[in-house]
Amino acid sequence: MSIIIAENLSKSYPVAVKEPGLRGTINHFFRRTYRQIAAVQDISLEINPGEVVGFLGPNGAGKTTTLKMLTGLVHPSSGQIRVDGHVPFRRQEAFLQKITLVMGQKQQLLWDLPALDSLKINAAVYNISDREFQRRVGELTEMLSLEGKLTQAVRKLSLGERMKAELLAALLHRPKVLFLDEPTLGLDVNAQVGVRDFLREYNQLYQATILLTSHYMADITALCQRVLLIYQGKLMYDGQLDKLLEQFAPYREIYIELVQPLPTEKLMYYGDVQLVEGRSVRFIVQREKLTSTVSQILADLEVLDLTVTEPPIEEVIGRVFQTGFV
């Protein structure tokens, strides 16, 4: 029995259009024209309890708008949603007790007070008894390594600590369904790993359903078996992650900075040359050949710097879009 069901979900926003210049300003004042932005177009999905699902997509794809509709923040233009039997936009208390939405750059904790004070408000709002409150704060503090941090003013915490404190506040009422919008945005690598480990542990401990949006591939690969690819408001792919990766991103990018520029023909030996700018070169290399290629480059050429990166997710998705549905 699915815990989240969305059918033909769509959302359009009217956005006022203004021509540049003085004439445009005058027209804008007297007679506004509007353009419809179709943020989400006809998305249908079903998610089962306990699943950890990733929403992938570039900026502006419609991931956040979809999450907002699923949590009842935004009224859909059309379509049906049921989350654990509730209609999200009705914002019934029973529904709000079961969910949480964590948005990477938004905070609910009061800035000038210790996090503990904001947590007390949450405990009262969600009807959590004092004893249960102490227990849950203790447990989550340990899981998130936030010992001693909850009594400091939130503004004094580092970004990573603040994000973890936000997570704690969001999970105090032990929701069944977690909606996470870019939870690791702006965090350093250690903090990112910390958040991912925590979410995995939480999912295993409480069988919570997790929907995660990110444009960091590492978040998705660490946590999700299933991904939904959203591009220009439409659902492009809904299935297993490893199939998607195998099919569309079986390569890595290598950037090197050489001591001296070299002719492109010579560089082509090592991999698919994408870009040569003076001493900087960018290659694309098949994942299986990555280690051998890197060793060869370092052995043969005089290299000042070498970086290996995953292809940007936008490229992968762009390719999915170009080649059509899987």
Partner 1 sequence: MKPILRKIVILITVYYAYMVEYRSELILWVLSGSLPLIMLGVWTQAAQKGQFGLTPLDFARYFFAVFLVRQMTVVWVIFEFEKEVVQGKLSPKLLQPLDPVWHHVASHISERLARFPFVFLLIGLFFILYPQAVWLPSFSNLLLFAIAAFLAFALRFVIQYTLAMFAFWTERAIALENFWFLLYLFLSGMIAPLKVFPEPIRAIALMTPFPYLIDFPASILIGLPVDLNRGFLSIIGWFFFFLGLNRLLWRAGLKKYSGMGA
- In the list 87, 124, 298, 326, the residue contacting partner 1 (rule: CB under 8 A) is 124
Closer to partner 1 at the Cβ: 14 or 261? 14
Dihedral of the CA atoms 200, 201, 207, 208 (nearest 10)? -60
Task: Look at residue 141 and give its three-state secondary structure.
Answer: helix
The residue to which tokens 């700018």 are assigned: 277
Distance, in Å, from the CA atom of 214 to the CA atom of 218, rounded to the nearest integer, reads 9
Closer to partner 1 at the Cβ: 71 or 192? 71
- Amino acid identity at 25: T
Residue 115 in contact with partner 1, rule: CB under 8 A = no
Residue 156 in contact with partner 1, rule: CB under 8 A = no
Residue 86 in contact with partner 1, rule: CB under 8 A = no
Residue 9 in contact with partner 1, rule: CB under 8 A = no
- The tokens of 269 are what? 């030996």
Residue 160 in contact with partner 1, rule: CB under 8 A = no
Q: Please, are residues 65 and 11 in contact by the beta-carbon 8 Å criterion? A: yes
For residue 101, list its beta bridge partners: 179
Q: Please, are residues 297 and 306 in contact by the beta-carbon 8 Å criterion? A: yes
Residue 53: exposed, middle, or buried by beta-carbon count in 10 A (0-12, 13-18, 19+)? Answer: buried
- In the list 10, 45, 70, 71, the residue contacting partner 1 (rule: CB under 8 A) is 71
Binding marks (x or -) toward partner 1, 22..61, rule CB under 8 A? ----------------------------------------
Residue 209 in contact with partner 1, rule: CB under 8 A = no
Residue 113 in contact with partner 1, rule: CB under 8 A = yes
Smallest gap from Cβ 26 to partner 1, in A, equals 19
The residue to which tokens 């989550």 are assigned: 140
Residue 184 in contact with partner 1, rule: CB under 8 A = no
Stretch that binds partner 1, among 123-131, 204-212, 227-235, 293-301 (CB under 8 A): 123-131
Closer to partner 1 at the Cβ: 177 or 267? 177
For residue 214, list its beta bridge partners: 56
Q: Please, are residues 176 and 47 in contact by the beta-carbon 8 Å criterion? A: no
Distance, in Å, from the CA atom of 98 to the CA atom of 80, rounded to the nearest integer, reads 19
Contacts to partner 1 by CB under 8 A:
13, 64, 68, 71-75, 91, 93, 96-97, 99-101, 103, 105-108, 110, 112-113, 117-118, 120-127, 181
